[in-house]
Structure formats: C-alpha cells, structure tokens
Amino acid sequence: MFNLEHKEYLLLICILPLLLGLYLLYHYRRKKDIKKVGNPELIALLMPDYSKFRNNLKFILLLLAVFLIIIAVAGPRFGSKLSEVKHEGIDILIALDVSNSMLAEDIKPNRLERAKQELSRLLDRLENDRIGLIVFAGEAYTQIPITNDYLSAKMFLSGINTEMVSRQGTAIGSAIELALRSFNPQSQAGKAIVIISDGENHEGGVIEACKKAAGKGVKIFTIGMGMSQGVRIPANSGPYDRDFRRDKDGNFVVTKLNEQMLMEIASAGNGKYYRASMPDMGLNNMLALLNKLNKVETESKVYSEFEEQFPGLIWLTVGLLLLEFVILERKNQWLKNIHWFEKWK
C-alpha cells in the first residue's frame, strides 16, 4: 500500500508550471533579442556549437529533479504487509439530537455545532474503543456503524445537520432501541450509549427503553444541551434580516432544556447526567467512568512496516543533477569529439 506521510507538500508541485512558464518566456525574449541583432539564420551559423536540444534537455532534467525532491519531502512509503493489531476497549454509541431546537443559540455557536465540536475532541482522545453514531429527531437513523476508524467518524460527524431527519420531534426511545440493536450481542465488551439532546418534545417509551438497556448491561449517559430559560429558534443563519421560527398561529417557537427528563433517562440507564455548560460538556468526567467498563480484546487489520522511499528518490535526484551538469550547452575541449547528441542537432 502506497502512502504519503506529508501530503501537504504536494502543493509545491504548483512551482513546476511556473518554472516552465519562466523558461518559455526566457526563450521567447531571447529570440526577439536575436532578431534585433540580425538574421537568426546567419547568427546561428556563427554559433555552430550551440544546441537547442541540449538546453531543453538540461531544463527537463532540472524540472524532473525538482519534481522528485517535492515527492521525496512528501514522505512516500509502501506498507509491506497487512497485519492484525489487537486492542482492548469498549463499545460506545453516540445518539445525537438533530431536531430544529438544536439550532438554538443559548450555547454558542448553537447547540448542535457545540455538540459536534466536543464530539470531535472526544474522538481525538479515544484510542482503542469502538464508536458509532446515531442521529435522531422524530425518527432515529444510524449515521456511523460501530467502528474504530476515528478519521471516518470525524468526517461523517462534520456533515451532520438538522435537515438529515425530516420528521421533527425527539425520539430518544427510538434512538436507544436502535443503539441496542447496533451492539454485537456476542461481545463481552462494556457498552454505553451517550445521548446528546435538549430533551424537549420527547416521545413516549423512553424510560422503558432505558430499563431494557440496563437489563442488558448497557449504561446510558446523557448530556443536556441548552439553558433552562426559553430561547427562540433561528429560522436562518444570516447576520442580516434575522428571523425566528414561528408556530401555525404566528407566535415565536421557544425552546428550553428539559433537564429533568435527561436526568431520569440517565438514572434509569445506570449512567450519569451532564450539562453542556460544564467545561467540555462533562466529557472528561464521563470518559473516566467509561474507562471503568469491561474492556475486551478486539482485532483490526492495518498496513504496517512502512518502508520509506525518501533515500531512493534523493539518489535518483542526485543522478539527474549530475547528468544535467555533464550535458553542456556548448562543446568544450573534453567533449567536442563525443557525439552523444549529434543526431539531435
């Protein structure tokens, strides 16, 4: 498997077209200057040792050398084999509320964006645990199946928005049921569900779903997004002509944190409730409790034993530069009897 350790250096390849443009501009101006002096064909007779091919070849070699140097600093390497890596961890399913009330700005920038920011930081702190993501409003959907691929999880997390679920509401019970079905029933690893929501407009059957989870040894943690005071829900995100959502009678829709419900969910699920106003939304404290759950060994396949290709590219670059040095623009006393490029004159 081919891999570049520092892909950002590939942007330097933009230098190559610039160098080519400067080279062509140089020859264009040189040709104009020669025409000012006299007839180009007559002037060419006065320079029998000059070779246009040699000049072009020298430039191509320099261009290739620059290209190889850029690839070399980008850190090319090959994975020599696919190996199995063993980890000890637990299974965590995040259930994220994406209802319209999560657009309220009582937590900056808004409830949903703040939750996504802290979840991204949580993924940076995880090492061997497996994680999945469920989004819910009036219905619940699996966004990311349980995985230890944190990079893909962060990519999917960044794209989450309130338009992903068309039916409005807060179906926490459905999210818990879906999470329970997502866990591997054969795994002995500790399992936890983390619900991030404002708890508002919840549907029935939540406590029953929590007790079902607790009966299977799954702990439920809740994080309350928002403030207890009611706030309006923005209808647009622009800085000007700001409007807010209204009900069918034209009154502003007000949303506030249903803290009592989220506490009851955490209590029924043998977990703990945290409020988003805490530093890092309480995720550090929650991680400390999650680390006490039973960890089991799992295996994942990764490419290992990467072999660096940097030295080979550098030696090839040195070879091209030496060749460019040997090829002179004009013949000299050492090389005038050597006709390597005679047929290209």
* Per-residue pLDDT tens digits for 97-117: 999 999 999 999 999 999 999
Q: Model confidence over 30-64: pLDDT tens digits?
A: 777 777 766 666 666 655 566 677 778 888 888 89
Cα separations (Å) of 232 from 104, 109, 253, 276, 288? 7, 14, 6, 18, 35
Q: What angle do CA 282, 178, 202 make, to 5 degrees?
A: 65
CA distance 216 to 180: 9
Cα separations (Å) of 100 from 97, 148, 248, 251, 273? 9, 30, 16, 16, 22
Q: Which helix (H) or strand (E) holds 300?
A: strand 296-308
Quickly count: other Cβ atoms within 10 Å of residue 158's Cβ. 10
Q: Extract the tokens encoding 54.
A: 């040699």
CA distance 192 to 327: 69
Give the per-residue pLDDT at 120: 93
Mean pLDDT for 68-90 is 75
Give the per-residue pLDDT at 336: 52
Give the per-residue pLDDT at 200: 82
Q: Model confidence over 180-192: pLDDT tens digits?
A: 999 988 888 999 9
CA distance 232 to 237: 13
CA distance 327 to 6: 34
Cα separations (Å) of 24 from 12, 21, 27, 58, 103? 20, 5, 5, 14, 56
* 82 has a pLDDT exceeding 60: no
* 222 or 238, which is more confident: 222
* 345 has a pLDDT exceeding 50: no
The pTM assigned to this predicted structure is 0.64
**Which domains are seen in the chain, by residue range?**
2-75+309-344 (no CATH), 84-300 (3.40.50.410)
- CB within 8 Å of 117: residues ≥ 6 apart: none
Task: For residue 339, name the pLDDT band (cuts at 50, 70, 90).
Answer: low
CA distance 245 to 254: 9
Amino acid at 16: L
| Residues 293, 187 contacting (CB under 8 angstroms) | no
- CB within 8 Å of 189: residues ≥ 6 apart: 89, 90, 91, 130, 293, 294, 295, 296, 298
| Residue found by looking up tokens 């000012």 in the block | 36
Q: What angle do CA 150, 152, 157 make, to 5 degrees?
A: 90
